[in-house]
Amino acid sequence: MPWTMNDYPNSLKNLDPAVKKKAIEIANAMVDEGYEEGRAIPIATSQAKEWHENASKSEIDELLHDTDVEERDDSDDNDARPELMDQAAHVIKHDDGWAVKTEKAKRASYVKETKQEAIDRAEEIAKNKGTKLVIHKRDGSVQRTKNFS
């Protein structure tokens, strides 16, 4: 079940709203990538606190003014797939912008307006999983890779 600002684990309740929102966003992505909820929450909380310490006021304001953390699709084909844990995160061109897609996944985890937003999200995922990030050009060819193992 995806967490939201209205429905989240008790361990997040006393966090600063920006930290809480970022932790929910990260935890939801980690669960999508195959992490168990019990592992995702403490990792996401730690990363959200670190993000908050290093974020500019405008980044924090932007996060807080977004309508809500990204909604996840709860359809049956979005079940956690542990076999994807060791797979690279790819940034690929998408009809609606740029997508973040785990190698061998059925569909993209996220679609962002800009390539840089997709790269930032994919890098976060690859770091969390300790895998590789593969950034593609518009034509699908590989632009560059980064290894986080």
- Ordered by start, the domain boundaries in the chain are 1-73, 81-149
Give the alpha-carbon dihedral of 118, 121, 122, 127, to 10 degrees: 160
- Residue among 76, 12, 84, 20 nearest 51 (CA): 20
- Supply 86's token pair: 């060791």
The per-residue pLDDT for 82 is: 61
* pTM for this entry: 0.51
The per-residue pLDDT for 83 is: 64
Judged against a pLDDT cut of 80, whether residue 75 lies above it is answered with no
Contact indicator for 107, 101 with CB cutoff of 8 Å: yes
DSSP structural state of residue 16: -
Q: Which of 64-68, 94-98, 113-117, 130-134 has the lowest mean pLDDT?
A: 64-68
Q: Chain-wide mean pLDDT for the chain?
A: 83
Judged against a pLDDT cut of 50, whether residue 90 lies above it is answered with yes
Reported confidence tier of residue 16, pLDDT bands at 50, 70, 90: very high
The per-residue pLDDT for 76 is: 41
Judged against a pLDDT cut of 60, whether residue 105 lies above it is answered with yes
Judged against a pLDDT cut of 90, whether residue 87 lies above it is answered with no
